[in-house]
Structure 1
Amino acid sequence: MTRAADSSQNKADPPLGGETIVLFEDDDLVRRATQRMLQRLGAQVVIGNTSAEAVEHLRAQGAAPTWVIADYWFSRLEDGLVATQAVRDAVGGEIKGLIITGDSSVEVANAVRAAGLHLLRKPVNTDRIIAILAENA
């Protein structure tokens, strides 16, 4: 075995390699930082300002998402739950979801759980995001 082959076998696969993640976040700085983090972990990231835009990008890229990560209050047009469901409806199949919010209301927590999604409250530790994604990959 050559050193190059031996070296490639010892490299760990990135924890999110092969995952396609749709990201809905209205804060530009947070969106760019989250996108870079996910890409460093091996994920392909599709960003949309609306669910329709995200679905259009997915179709153009021929990508099938495995996750949606959405800020609960990312848009005036639709919240994270609506956007996640719209992506699920458009592409079919079971797509996992993570809703991130600063909203501490019981109503939002109950709605997220009823939709079968994971919930993280702000401020968010990136290690926790990574753990949820990796545990449920």
Structure 2
Amino acid sequence: MTATAGGNEQILLVEDDDLVRRYVQNQLEQMGYRVTVASSGPTALEIVRQQPTIDLLFTDVVMPGGMSGRELGDAARRLRPDLKILYTSGYSEQAIVHPGRLDPGVKLLSKPFSRAKLAQKVRDVLDE
């Protein structure tokens, strides 16, 4: 599989930083994915409710607005137990896992990430 392997799945991208959100959306769309964006957990959860075609929730772990990425992931899984979830964070995996924010084994893509890493991690999670 090439480093920029893509697909045509529907991805819900949740990122509060406008520049990061636009960059990642652009990268994913160039790989062929259909991308819906949200800048907060509550907005993203409403999208999950309304769009049963979402294949992957790709969310930042630490977000303002009263709902973390982990809380969003948990709520989304209650609505759609089969939903694939990939978290991203600028914090190290240890910093996220140990305070109880994420469970061990949760799929995490650490920031900053390259296009190749983004492509590979998204494809790996979708293919599981």
Note whether the superposition's TM-score is higher than 0.5. yes
2:54 alignment partner, one of 50, 53, 65: 65
Alignment identity in percent? 26
Say what the alpha-carbon RMSD is for the aligned residues: 2.3
Separation of aligned partners in 2, 1:109 and 1:117: 9
The 1:50–1:89 alpha-carbon spacing in structure 2 relative to 1, beyond 3 Å, is farther
Aligned to 2:30: 40
Whichever residue aligns with residue 20 of structure 1, its letter is Q
Separation of aligned partners in 1, 2:37 and 2:19: 13
2:97 alignment partner, one of 86, 92, 109: 109
Maintained 8 Å contact 1:97/1:118: yes
Aligned to 1:20: 10
Runs of 4+ in 1 over 6 A off after TM superposition: none
Corresponding pairs, count: 120
TM-score, with length taken from structure 2 = 0.77
Separation of aligned partners in 2, 1:49 and 1:103: 19
Determine which structure has the larger helix proportion and give its number: 1
TM-score, with length taken from structure 1 = 0.72
* Cα deviation digits, residues 14-66 of structure 1 (max 9, x gap): 7221x111111111011011111112222222222333322333454x44222
Separation of aligned partners in 1, 2:102 and 2:37: 21
The 1:15–1:106 alpha-carbon spacing in structure 2 relative to 1, beyond 3 Å, is closer
Separation of aligned partners in 2, 1:22 and 1:80: 12
Q: How far is the alpha carbon of 1:100 from its aligned partner? A: 1.3
Q: Pairwise mapping of residues 1-137 of structure 1 onto structure 2 (< 5 A)?
A: 15-17=6-8, 19-60=9-50, 62-90=51-79, 92-104=80-92, 106-110=94-98, 111-114=101-104, 116-137=105-126
The 1:79–1:58 alpha-carbon spacing in structure 2 relative to 1, beyond 3 Å, is closer
**Quick one: higher RCO (CA 8 Å, sep 6+), 1 or 2?**
2
